[in-house]
Amino acid sequence: MIKLEKLDRMLGRKFLRLSLSEWCVISAICAYAAVFSAYTIFKHVCFQTYAADLGIFYQALWSTCHGKLLYETPDMLRFNTSGCFLATHFAPILLVLVPLFALFPRAETLLILQSLVIASAAFPLSRIAKEMFGESAGLFVGLSYLLYFPIHGANCYDFHLEAFVPLFVALAIYYYERRDFRKCLLSMTFLWATMMEVTSLFAAFIALSWLVREGFSASRSRFAIAFLVASVVLAGLAHVFMSFFGPPINVERAASNFSIDYLFSDSGQKFLYWVLLIVPLCGFCLLSPSNFLMVVLWLGMTAFVRPFHASWYSLGWQYPLLVVSQLFFASLYGIKNLAFFVKKKWGRDVKDLLLVALLCSSVISAGFLSPLNPSMRGSLRERGRIFWGEGYNDPRYDEHTELLHTIVRYVPEGASVLTQANIFPHVCRSFYAYVNEVPEGLPENVDYILLDIKEGCSREVFPALSELVNRYEYGILAYADGILLLKKDYRGDPIVEIPYDNTFSWKELYVKVGSLEYEVDSTSGLVFTHRPEDPGGTLWFGPYCPLLPGKYEVIVRLRVTELAGDVVCKIRVYSVFGTMEEFAVHEVRKELFQEVGEWENFTFVFELEHPCGYLEIVGECEEGVGLQMDFVRVRQLEVWEPCAWSL
């Protein structure tokens, strides 16, 4: 039987009024904050932060420092026509961040702050565990929280207000347990101020849990009732405040996102989501129903929400931060209840064993499922693009990234610029920075258009691009490997000019008739394979990437293993610009192959006259043909000025 008395005595030694266990937790918090700050900053440098939400908060805080209260443009594309963030979420806590941001007005400030705030929740949680079970428990729970992989995925995705929730919830619970109601009220006030229309509802369920656990006759139930009433009232008032800063809240539209009909939509993914939230805690939170009541709101919301909001019940997004402190607190009471039951039934003290199990479970699950695990950023990410969210993206800094940084520097601060989501946080220090399109009612005479069609460009930007290029005169200021910077009224030569060159393999293309097989002498490893016994039809299709007007060369690497008719395969190229249009067809005939069983490159040229939201290249095989395809390479031969585009 595991006993931790000796460890408790050692960890109980005091240094500067804190025990050794508390200093260990503080050290772990600092280590966590350092690691995740460095990692998230690296992701930002690799253009893997986005308009939603780092760009939103960066622009909102920058605008406040320059005279416009929390003004940001990305939400204006959806429902917030005023541009004030307080009409999207009533979050007065942002005003507390303004002085810090004024001193250090960089995106890195927000990323470091987020890592530190998320990590800090470990301290009050460890204090709760320490007062319930002892010094070792405080250390184990603090470490378990910092190793809890769902917060890693949330931490690695941009900057979000949900980052403050674990700390304020943990503080509120800690001071409530100590009956320090003044500090509990202060913690609750910060929680309410984080996103009042959302966090007030979560605060209400925390207060309801206290009320259920203690009963109406308990001496401190009046405080739970007061917190419950205040939370419900503030949740309602928040919508009034939001309407003051922007358009009226459409309650009917918000309610339409939830229905009992959605319960069985994505039911497997919803179940897996909750399993992965609970398993690292060994399921202990389920053994304290009254405290598990704190997360019932989120359980219901994820169960009955429509599939459009699949990120709510997926990992790698910010939402687990809404319930992580409640789950840990419920787990502590679950350990207490289970230990009491075992001792009463069999006379054994298993409390220390359960605490060790909690820590071991957190270590093992983090080792396998944290986004810091490179394998999670690769294969599993490819197999579950929705469930493993943006926090699991794999950052890469390469020559293309360096080119993008070079071109971004040509956009001056304060300029009017239209760009895409992953570039927006790098150019949003302006009242006139827009993502994908210019919001209705704002000036359309955009001075700069900056796109990277190779990484992160959405087809949503192409209608606005076409409209602006059609209405105003733009020249190419820089063009490098698919990175396009247009400047209004610019008539000089491009400062940078490097043609687009991209290669697509099994990672970007899809197989239909045939299979993927490993070939050691291939470039990409897995190749598209059509056997003679396979039916004729489409062997591969994709990659559904955007493309700019110009003249292009397509190189397809093929190997024929068995010939049949005169035509081995046909390669069709489609463009999607409003509608799908076939604009190039190339036949690969059997006499073009030099030798059966050897890899050969086949080349053809096409011209694209208008911006293409989706490029599709389809390879069609004839029946009886044995054929393998390694990769498709698209290389730009000529870059066309916007005046030559067909719009």
Does 214 or 401 have the greater pLDDT score?
401
CB 326, CB 293: distance < 8 Å: no
Q: Strand ranges (DSSP E) for 388-462?
A: 417-419, 433-435, 448-452
Can you list the domains of the chain with their CATH numbers?
A: 5-11+20-390 (no CATH), 399-498 (no CATH), 501-637 (2.60.120.260)
135: closest CA among 291, 288, 25, 46?
A: 25
- Determine the Cα–Cα distance for residues 610 and 644; give it in Å rounded to an integer: 9
**Residue 458, pLDDT above cutoff 80:** yes
Mean pLDDT of 205-217: 88
Closest listed residue to residue 446, CA positions, set 454, 436, 457: 436
Q: How far is it, in rounded angstroms, from Cα 623 to Cα 564?
A: 8
pLDDT digits (tens, 9 = 90+) for 224-258: 999 999 999 999 999 999 999 988 877 777 888 89
Q: What is the dihedral of CA 497, 503, 509, 511, to 10 degrees?
A: 150
The 10 Å CB-count burial string (b at 16+, else e) for 4-14 is: beebbeebbee
pLDDT at 319 over 80: yes
Cα dihedral sign, 336-337-340-346: negative
Task: Look at residue 87 in the predicted model and tell me its pLDDT.
Answer: 93
**Calpha distance 263→433 (Å, rounded):** 39
Q: How far apart are CA 344 and CA 338, in angstroms?
A: 10
Whether 644 has a pLDDT exceeding 80, the answer reads no
Q: Percent of the chain beyond pLDDT 70?
A: 96
Torsion of CA 338, 344, 347, 348, to 10 degrees: 10
- Residue pair 100/109 in contact (Cβ under 8 Å)? The answer is yes
* pLDDT tier, 118 (very low <50, low <70, confident <90, very high otherwise): very high
> What is the pLDDT confidence band of residue 217, given thresholds at 50, 70 and 90?
low
Lowest mean pLDDT among 109-118, 215-224, 506-515: 215-224
For residue 511, give Cα distances in angstroms to 76, 505, 515, 620: 39, 11, 6, 11
Beta pairing, strands 515-518 & 526-530:
antiparallel
Range 131-145 average pLDDT: 95
Tokens of 424: 């927006």
Q: Which of 189-203, 249-263, 273-287 has the lowest mean pLDDT?
A: 249-263
Amino acid at 481: D
What is residue 438's DSSP assignment?
P
For residue 515, what are the CA distances in angstroms to 465, 540, 547? 38, 9, 28
Least confident of 299-313, 522-536, 576-590, 611-625: 576-590
More confident residue, 445 or 572: 572
Beta bridge pairs of residue 498: 480
Query: Given this model, what pLDDT does residue 104 score?
Result: 96
Q: How confident is the model at residue 459 (pLDDT cuts 50, 70, 90)?
A: confident
- Closest to 200 measured CA to CA, from 50, 91, 42, 75: 91
Neighbours of 511 (CB within 10 A): 20
pLDDT value of residue 411 = 96
Residue 341 confidence (pLDDT) above 50: yes
Helix H or strand E segment including 46? none
Lowest mean pLDDT among 1-15, 144-158, 393-407, 608-622: 1-15
472-486 pLDDT tens trace: 899 999 999 999 999
Q: Tell me what the pLDDT averaged over the chain comes to.
A: 91
- The confidence score (pLDDT) of residue 464 equals 87
In which band, very low, low, confident or very high, does the pLDDT at 424 lie, cut at 50, 70 and 90? very high
Angle between helices 196-214 and 165-177 (to 10 degrees): 30
Residue 490: the pLDDT is 94
From the CA atom positions of the chain, what is the Rg in Å?
A: 28
Q: Exposure string (b/e) for 220-241, b if CB count within 10 Å is 16 or more?
A: eeebbeebbebbbebbeebbee
Confidence of residue 213 (pLDDT cuts 50, 70, 90): confident
Give the model's pLDDT for residue 1.
56
- Give CA–CA dist 51/469, Å, rounded: 23
CA atoms within 13 A on the CB side of 189: 6
Question: What is the pLDDT confidence band of residue 564, given thresholds at 50, 70 and 90?
Answer: confident
pLDDT of residue 396 exceeding 70: yes
In the three-class reduction of DSSP (H, G, I as helix; E, B as strand; rest coil), residue 179 is classed as coil
For residue 274 the two structure tokens come to 């909750």
Nearest-angstrom CA–CA distance, 132 and 115: 27
Say if residue 471's pLDDT is above 50: yes
- pLDDT bracket for residue 77 (50, 70, 90): confident
Task: Give the span between the Cα atoms of 528 and 629, in whole angstroms.
Answer: 5
- List the beta bridge partners of residue 624: none
Q: What is the pLDDT of residue 579?
A: 63
Look at residue 225 in the predicted model and tell me its pLDDT.
Answer: 92
Q: Is the pLDDT of residue 380 over 80?
A: no
What is the number of helices (H) and of strands (E) in the chain? Answer: 22, 20
Farthest-apart Cα atoms in the chain, separation: 92
pLDDT at 378: 58
Give the separation between CA 166 and CA 174, rounded to whole angstroms: 12
* Residue in 165, 221, 173 with CA at minimum distance from that of residue 190: 165
In this structure, the strands spanning 612-621 and 537-541 are antiparallel
Smallest CA-to-CA distance from 318 within 100, 56, 42 is with 56
Please indicate whether residue 27 or residue 53 has the higher confidence score (pLDDT). Answer: 27
